[in-house]
Amino acid sequence: MLRFLTAGESHGQGLVVILEGIPAGLALDEEYIRRQMERRQRGYGRGGRMQIERDFAHIMTGVRHGRTLGAPIGMTIENKDWANWTQQMSVTPIDEPVKVVTRLRPGHADLAGAMKYGQDDVRNILERASARESAARVAAGAIARRFLEEIGVAIHSHTMSIGGVWAKPASPISWDKVEESVVRTADPSVEAAMMKTIDDAKEAGDTVGGVVEVIAEGVPIGLGSHIQWDRKIDAKLAMAFMSMNAVKAVSIGEGWEGANVRGSQYHDVIDPVADPSRPWQRQTNRSGGTEGGMTDGMPLVVRFAVKPISTLAKPLPSVDLVTGEKVQAHYERSDVCQVPPAGVIGEAMMALVVAEAFLEKFGGDHIEESRRNMRAYLKTVGPRNVARVRGD
């Protein structure tokens, strides 16, 4: 129902995005997408590349006079750094020799990719394996996010930890404060400590990772399905988040915590229905808004762990791809910490998964049809007696 593809290399001419399945009639402009992409470029610990790029997704297809057509939406994102790489990344053959990369980086796609695709120059792998591709994801996710806004879904993220420094945010979270924070934390008391952790790693020629939480509010009950493994909303979320660069663990709600407590301490008690317009409220949301592979009407919560970036200013010992001899790993200009922008990328992936699940259930070739179908369904969601279930 909803799918996207990206293309492009880190230092190539640019990125290409195709998003298919967005209904017709959705108000959309390039400025909305630009704001989301600009959020991805911010964050303490970012490298020099973000000083070069000014990401902007140019809409080429699928939108007319500010409204989607229901056709595939095609976008291009220029790589301004391409001007410095025209010989290295030339599409056509060149006469001059180019510098090859053969020193493998532990933790990157270098070795496995070179073996799989039969390469003797790691640049043929690292260019596409770069997190630069995430700019295209944010562009696609921005459109899905715009669609979800029309049906009352809001998506946010915040940094839970960086380098072992954990936040303890107050409830409710002030999302405005998160946006103002250079590390995107909801706990101002740990912001300085998180920044120092990044600074210390930079001084040591090292990198740090962390944990991020993404929350989608207003998601209707019943998205996804328990019927087959690949239709479970948990499975789709896990795949989407695990597909992000450097992500090594994903939890739906308090997934890991649940392994250490009894059921009576974990499961979310259902409150009696006092307000028919807001049925099936829970006293807690430890399950992260899903049960049995379906959304349960509570906020959808995904937490994911970002490993330290594998490109180190003081490289690890490694091996040369061609000679097999011991060398120091390759160094390519890189961030020290990518946890803050990872939250924005996670929001994009959340938006794409929720929008896909919404369209799977409610369909709609036009945005108004999607809304009507959802409103009709929500009228049926609530306490029901035996006679109503049987249709008597």
Instruction: State how far Cα 161 lies from the chain centre.
Output: 17
Q: Half-sphere exposure of 133 toward its Cβ, with a 13 Å CA cutoff? A: 18
223 vs 378: CA distance, rounded Å: 12
3-state secondary structure of 120: coil
76 vs 348: CA distance, rounded Å: 17
195 vs 184: CA distance, rounded Å: 11
Query: What is the structure's pLDDT at 50?
Result: 61
**76 phi and psi, to 5 degrees?**
-125, 145
205 vs 312: CA distance, rounded Å: 6
Domains defined along the chain, listed by start: 3-388 (3.60.150.10)
Two tokens, residue 119: 């390469």
198 vs 211: CA distance, rounded Å: 14
Pairing state of beta strands 247-252 and 317-319? Answer: unpaired
Which residues make Cβ contacts (< 8 Å) with residue 62, sequence separation at least 6?
19, 22, 68, 69, 71, 72, 73, 74
Contact 96, 57 (CB under 8 A): no
Query: What is the structure's pLDDT at 48?
Result: 62
List per-residue pLDDT tens for the chain, 392 residues long: 899 999 999 999 999 999 999 999 999 999 999 999 999 999 998 766 666 678 999 999 999 999 999 999 999 999 999 999 999 999 999 998 899 999 999 999 999 999 999 999 999 999 999 999 999 999 999 999 999 999 999 999 999 999 999 999 999 999 999 999 999 999 999 999 999 999 999 999 999 999 999 999 999 999 999 999 999 999 999 999 999 999 999 999 999 999 999 999 999 999 998 888 889 999 999 999 999 999 999 999 999 999 999 999 999 999 999 999 999 999 887 789 999 999 999 999 999 999 999 999 999 999 999 999 999 999 999 887 544 555 55
377 vs 220: CA distance, rounded Å: 10
343 vs 330: CA distance, rounded Å: 27
Strand ordering across the sheet containing 57-61: 3-8, 14-20, 73-78, 57-61
Two tokens, residue 310: 């594998």
pTM of the model: 0.94
The identity of residue 295, as a single letter, is T
Query: What is the structure's pLDDT at 334?
Result: 78
Largest CA distance in the chain: 81
234 vs 157: CA distance, rounded Å: 18
Contact 280, 220 (CB under 8 A): no
